[in-house]
Structure 1
């Protein structure tokens, strides 16, 4: 009797699951917009970042954020370039704004898609009209309450409920969404409490190794020297130490830690937020006396080592998309302009992290870097690569990312990288 009940329940669950799959999985994507077109307005995101910075600075005052459709679409386009199988589109109107997302399912040969659309309404609070998942229609209020409950449960707090209550009004036009917020002080304080109390899976070995290499490099003479030092010198000392402390079985983990420590030390101290509590003094981040340089430029050293760290922490597509998006933002008035030189440093950093974390190459990379202080070992030549392009100049010359001429420049960088023995080496 019990066996028959179990079989019946199992069959019912199987039938429900199969029905849901039929309803929500579709053979074509809802979104067909190309990311290369969306990120063309990436320079508009600078204004949004400026608003957010001011809101945090004036956290004791009520805030009004104006978010334009190009800004939202650019951010969605960035995600699309970073994550394969993701497509998104934002449409803003005075009566409602919709976010549409298409996610390609793995192992379906491009024939399986999850299509999600969310419609946000103007009003005195956050109000969702409806949520569509394939052919399944979910009332917006129900979807919002379920999401709020899930976030609260996951964080063991009421942060989602509190955040929703901070919204004092949403208005829309054909071009933007205006969100009125209560003072952010309380929300920021609660977010910090949630972050400190949230238990997430963490690689404690990598965290501790990174903390070790961060302290090690900070004690070296070149870190205290008032004369700017090459990134190659920092890499040589750190990778030599990694070689001395590791063996063929542990070399990858030590190389990852060395890259992350260098990114925190000479790149940006906030990279530590992705690793854990690694600073000896929580109120004073370790950093060199003078910024490191690469090809005589501080910005290239940061581009290289931060991209390497992002590769360690994420997928390659994310690392390159971040670098590319940053260059597109720099085309705005007052920015440094689009730079294929910066992009070359980003791509070199990703390549370095790739070989340094390859189990068959990790020890070899340690030996090569430990024996050299030459930047040309890991950074390709940058002569002749265009940079400083304004948005108008970029569009006139390349039209958009992924155009044939743009891809030719990227191919040139890849060719220069391939000429370096460190990156051409195969296990």
Structure 2
């Protein structure tokens, strides 16, 4: 009978421990079920609440002084629902109870769930200290701080257009049932910041130069049709994803005037060639708001390359069901407009075609000889316009309702038949 040598025994023990770590740590860090329940899509009331907070925060851009946002569980639920839509298939929940702010995230991984929970209490300058759990593992404070720092370096800070969170969040005061966040929003370009959330990079100098050229052409030879402006922008740009991205971004800026002050703030070249107040507006089927929907959705799709552009368009329509005034232009009615939504989707579908190396040449050629019906088929103008919150809910339920999904699919098919693809 032979016995294993001590050296071979130690090797087997090491392999066993290594396998235990490789299997055990993921099992401890994940769970068989999510900590966050499945959420419905954001409602009109929730989007309206988030819109109000965003408008408050944006006011700090104008004054350069921090503003305080007060969030209770109603507001936190609204932000959670919208964040979950944007981060799908992950689920996100935020709530405050007994003086503790709790942020919870759940994401499916194979047949299990990665669950993360962060808790904070009291008042802090900038970001608070978080107690973080990952599944069954409670992270020590130093590891939590290090992980958050790495996330900030990855998604915020010097290498992106977004400043560190401590520059935006100046103070956080957590009371028994509310959270008071003192924030100061950066003045840099909103579109460039949007690009930082996606995969695209923007050549701000090229965008500014083309924008100024488009303004000069519009002043010298006024042209109302969005189709004509697309031809001008494409003719002055390279037939490449980067060139088309520059063209669409410049087009969004000139079409979105006077919102350009928010979209392009901080770029001196853009601010130096602002258009005159009497410059002829750019229209799509005679409407300035449809032109803005088209170009801004295309620009968001070009920059983020994710679902953000689609969601912003849908959230805007939900917010309009609660609004009493137009958001984009005097012709823009309150209520959920499927014509607006078709304009949004036409812009983003065209943007995808213009940045896909396999389709960009064909899409460019079609736009260079196309007209307004190429951008938005006349058939789309017959869609429902200005639905109230009650009317939208009765016909389509919500953004995650099969009836709404079927309507969006129908609109996309209409756009493709009309010439988008």
**Does the pair score TM above 0.5?**
yes
Unaligned segments of structure 2, at least 5 residues: 1-12, 326-333
Aligned counterparts of 1:80 and 1:207: Cα–Cα separation in 2:
31
What corresponds to 2:119 in structure 1?
A: 119
Q: Is the 8 A contact 1:39 1:74 kept in 2?
A: no
- Match of 2:102, SS state, is strand
1:26 deviates by: 3.1
1:77 deviates by: 2.2
What corresponds to 1:98 in structure 2?
A: 102
Aligned counterparts of 1:303 and 1:318: Cα–Cα separation in 2:
14
1:124 deviates by: 6.8
Question: Which of residues 326, 343, 367 in structure 1 aligns to 2:316?
Answer: 326
1:120 deviates by: 3.1
CA deviation map 1:267-297 (0-9, x unaligned):
3535457xxx9x5625435447233111211
CA deviation map 1:38-78 (0-9, x unaligned):
66621122322343244555655x75421233333223322
Matches within 5 A, 1:397-408: 397-408=395-406
- Match of 1:219, SS state, is helix
- Structure 2 residue 49 is the aligned partner of structure 1 residue 44: yes
- Match of 1:119, SS state, is strand
Q: Is the 8 A contact 1:39 1:77 kept in 2?
A: no
1:147 deviates by: 5.6
CA deviation map 1:5-48 (0-9, x unaligned):
xxx99998886555432221334332232242566621122322
Question: Which of residues 222, 232, 246 in structure 2 aligns to 1:237?
Answer: 232
**TM-score normalised per structure 2:** 0.76
1:135 deviates by: 1.2
What corresponds to 2:376 in structure 1?
A: 379
Q: Is the 8 A contact 1:55 1:63 kept in 2?
A: yes
- Structure 2 residue 38 is the aligned partner of structure 1 residue 33: yes
User: C-alpha root-mean-square deviation of aligned residues, in Å?
Assistant: 4.1
What corresponds to 1:137 in structure 2?
A: 138
Aligned counterparts of 2:273 and 2:25: Cα–Cα separation in 1:
50
- Match of 2:131, SS state, is strand
CA deviation map 1:323-360 (0-9, x unaligned):
11111122224242221111111110111111122222
Unaligned segments of structure 1, at least 5 residues: 1-7
Aligned counterparts of 1:180 and 1:76: Cα–Cα separation in 2:
16
What corresponds to 1:23 in structure 2?
A: 28
**TM-score normalised per structure 1:** 0.75
Aligned counterparts of 1:32 and 1:394: Cα–Cα separation in 2:
25
Aligned counterparts of 1:12 and 1:389: Cα–Cα separation in 2:
63
Question: Which of residues 268, 272, 275 in structure 2 aligns to 1:284?
Answer: 272
CA deviation map 1:69-123 (0-9, x unaligned):
3333223322322333221122333443322211234xx3xx2432111223345
CA deviation map 1:121-172 (0-9, x unaligned):
3457775573221111235x5566436655787747x9666777x4273224
Question: Which of residues 215, 219, 228 in structure 2 aligns to 1:218?
Answer: 215
Aligned counterparts of 1:135 and 1:207: Cα–Cα separation in 2:
46
- Structure 2 residue 74 is the aligned partner of structure 1 residue 70: yes
Aligned counterparts of 1:81 and 1:160: Cα–Cα separation in 2:
22
Aligned counterparts of 1:257 and 1:355: Cα–Cα separation in 2:
15
| More deviation, 306-315/381-390 | 381-390
- Match of 1:342, SS state, is helix
Distance 1:292 1:397, change over 3 A: same
Q: Is the 8 A contact 1:230 1:292 kept in 2?
A: yes
1:308 deviates by: 0.8
| More deviation, 311-320/88-97 | 88-97
Distance 1:152 1:398, change over 3 A: closer
- Structure 2 residue 84 is the aligned partner of structure 1 residue 87: no
1:422 deviates by: 3.6
Distance 1:403 1:364, change over 3 A: same
